[in-house]
Amino acid sequence: MRIAHATAALVGIALSSGCGSNNTHAGAASSTSSAGAKNGAAPEASATASSAPSPETSAYALTEGSKRLVCKTMTSDVIIQAFVTRGSAQRNAFVDKLTQVLKAYESARYVGTGENAQPKEYKSHIRLSVLDASTPDAKETAKDAGLVEQTFADEVEGSKDSAVLTRGYSGLVMKYGVEQEVIPALPENDGSGLEFMITNKLRALSAEVSGKKTRIGVLAGKGEIKLTDNNLAPTKPGQVFNIKAVFEQYMSVYEFVGVDLHGGDAEIDRELPAIMVTQPGKDYSEKELRRIDEFLMRGNKSMVVFASAVNLKASDRSMRATLSTHGIDRLLDGYGVEMKKDLVFDSSGCSRMEVTVASQSQKVPVSFPWALFIEPDDRFVGERRLLDDSFVPFFRMNREALPFASSLIVHREKQPSIRLRVVARTTPDAVTTSDASIDVLSTSKNVPKGEKAQRDVAVAIEPGCCDGRAQCSDDDPCKKGSLQSAFPSGDKMGVDAPAESRGPARVLVISSAQFLANPFARSGNPPDAPTQPPATAESGGDSELQMVARPYYEQTLAPSLLTLKNTLDWMTGDEDMVSLSETLGSSATNKAGASH
C-alpha cells in the first residue's frame, strides 16, 4: 500500500453521525491533511489558465495564523502551481473554490510587530499559477512533479444516468527555496478543509527550509507499540503504512524522536517540548517514572499517554488480552488520575461496523463492545457528557475510537493548582472485567456481566478554571497550571525534581491501548520482523481479521490522525494550528447540520 494513495483518499472525509436517532449533535470529524513528496525543482508552467471565482461567491477569509505564515514567517517567494482539470459542474465548482482559496493566500496581508515594537504590515510571499492540466504538456509536467493521475466522471448532456470517464490531475506543487512539496491528489468536495491542507503543507515546507521542526519525544525501550509499526490497515509483508511515515510525508512539521530512559539513568532531553507514551510491553521502573516526572516538573512541558492496562500481542489471531498497567498507573496516580486494571465494554452507542461476508456477498453488522466508539450526544450533559468536543484534541470530532480502554478515576484533590477534567466517557451501559485473561473475540456475542455505569476513559490536565468553567477570576489557583510532582517524597534515586512544576504543564491521558493502531490489523497482519511467530500457518496474516480491519480503518483512521495532530498542537501550544483545526471542524459541522 502506497501511503500517498491511501492517505490522499482520506482528505475531505467527514464522518456523519450514524448511531441512533437520539444523537442530535451536528459535529463531524474531518480528515487529515493531504499528501506530499519531494521531487526536485518545481516545474516551469507550460500555460497559465487562472480561473476566477464565481461572482456569486464572496472572497475567502484566511485565519490569522495562515496570514502570518505566508506574510511574515516565510521570508521569500513561495511558488504554488495548481494543476486543475475542469469538466462536471461539481468539479468546476471545486476548481472555483480552490482558486478562490489560493488567491486569498496570494493577496494576504498581516499586521504584526516590526522594529521598535511598532505595527507593521507584511505582504504575502505566495506567487500563484493555476494551470489547465488537460493539455499533454501540462499532464507530463504534473506527473513529473509527483501528482497522481485521477479518474473523473463527467455527466453526459441530457442523461442523468450516464457518465464519461476521463483522466486528469488535481493537485498542488509548492516550492520554497530549494525545497518542494506536493499535494498529489485533491479531493472533489465542497472545498472544506482546503486551508487546513494547504497551510499544513506550507508549514512543513517552511520547517524544511528553516530547519525548525517541532520535535516530539516518544518513550522507547519498553516493548511498546511503536509509531513505525505497520498496524493502521491490512498490509502484506514489506508494505509500509504507519503513523510516523504518514506524519513524515503529510505533517512533517512534527518530528518524532525516540527517548530511551536506559533504566532511569538517562534524563529526557530538556529541549523537547513534549513527550508521548504508547502502550508498553514491559514494566517501567520507579526511577524511569521519576525521569518522566522530572521532565514535566521543568515547566512548560507536556505529555500524552495513549495506554491502558489491556495488553495484546501483535500478529496473534487469538486476540487474547491480559491486564497490566506496567507501572504507568503509579505515575498517573500522582497526577490525580487513577488507572484501573480492567477492560471496559460498552455495547451501546457506536461500537459496531458492517463487514462483507464472502459466502453471502453482503454486508452484515458486527459489534465490538471493547472498541469504544464515543460520540457527542446531547442527551448527556455536564458531568455525564460523553465526548468533550470543545477540548482542542477532540474539537468538533463526531467520533473517537478507543479500543481496549481501561477506566479512569479522577482525584482532583491531588492537584490543587491545575485543572483536571474528563474529556471522554462511556454511556451508562458500560461494564468492566478484571479477569487475568480475556478472550476478546468471544465478547462480541458474550459481553461480560457486571455493574453498568459510565466510565471515564480520557482525562486532561491543563491550566484553567478549577471548576471547569470557561471563564473565572484571575485568582483561580488552577489558572497557574502548576503540576504537583508524582513523587514528592521517598528516595529520589538521583533524580532531582521540585515538588511543583516550575511553569505550566499539560498532561492528556487517553486510556486506550491501541488508539494509534487498528486492533484487527495489528492482530491479523503478518509480523514485521521475521523473528516473530507468524499470525497463521501462512505468512500472509489472518484473512478474517484483515477483512474486519478494512471497515475499521475506513471509519477511524482519519479522525484518529486528526486527533493526534490536534493533540500535538495542544501540547506544544501552537495556537495557529489549533485555530485551523477549529475552522476545519466548523466546516464539517455545517455540512452535517445541512444534511439533517
pLDDT number for residue 560: 94
Say if residues 376 and 300 touch (Cβ distance below 8 Å).
Answer: no
pTM given for the model: 0.75
pLDDT number for residue 255: 93
Number of H helices, E strands in the chain: 11, 28
Strands 437-439 and 254-260: unpaired
Q: Cα angle vertex 239, ends 238, 243, to 5°?
A: 125
Paired residues of 79 in beta bridges: 127, 175
pLDDT number for residue 433: 97
pLDDT number for residue 471: 81
- The cell for 121 is 504590515
Position 107, amino acid: S
Positive/negative CA dihedral, 492, 498, 503, 507? positive
pLDDT number for residue 351: 62
* Per-block mean pLDDT, blocks of 10 residues, the chain (596 long): 36 32 36 34 34 48 92 96 91 93 96 86 96 91 92 71 81 95 83 83 88 93 96 87 89 92 97 98 98 97 98 95 98 98 87 66 82 93 92 86 97 96 96 95 88 97 87 89 96 95 96 97 81 48 89 90 92 72 49 37
Q: How far apart are CA 399 and CA 585, in angstroms?
A: 12
Position 284, amino acid: Y
Specify the length of the chain in residues.
Answer: 596
pLDDT number for residue 472: 86
Say if residues 521 and 235 touch (Cβ distance below 8 Å).
Answer: yes
pLDDT number for residue 589: 38
Task: For residue range 444-498, list pLDDT tens digits in order.
Answer: 888 899 999 999 999 999 998 998 777 888 899 998 999 999 999 999 999 999 9
DSSP 535: S
Q: Cα angle vertex 15, ends 17, 380, to 5°?
A: 35
Q: With left for phi above 0 and alpha for psi between -120 and 50, is residue 541 left, alpha or beta?
A: left
> What does the radius of gyration of the chain's CA atoms come to, in whole angstroms?
25
Task: For residue range 189-244, list pLDDT tens digits in order.
Answer: 767 778 888 988 898 889 889 888 899 999 999 999 999 999 999 988 778 899 99
Q: How far apart are CA 374 and CA 230, in angstroms?
A: 25
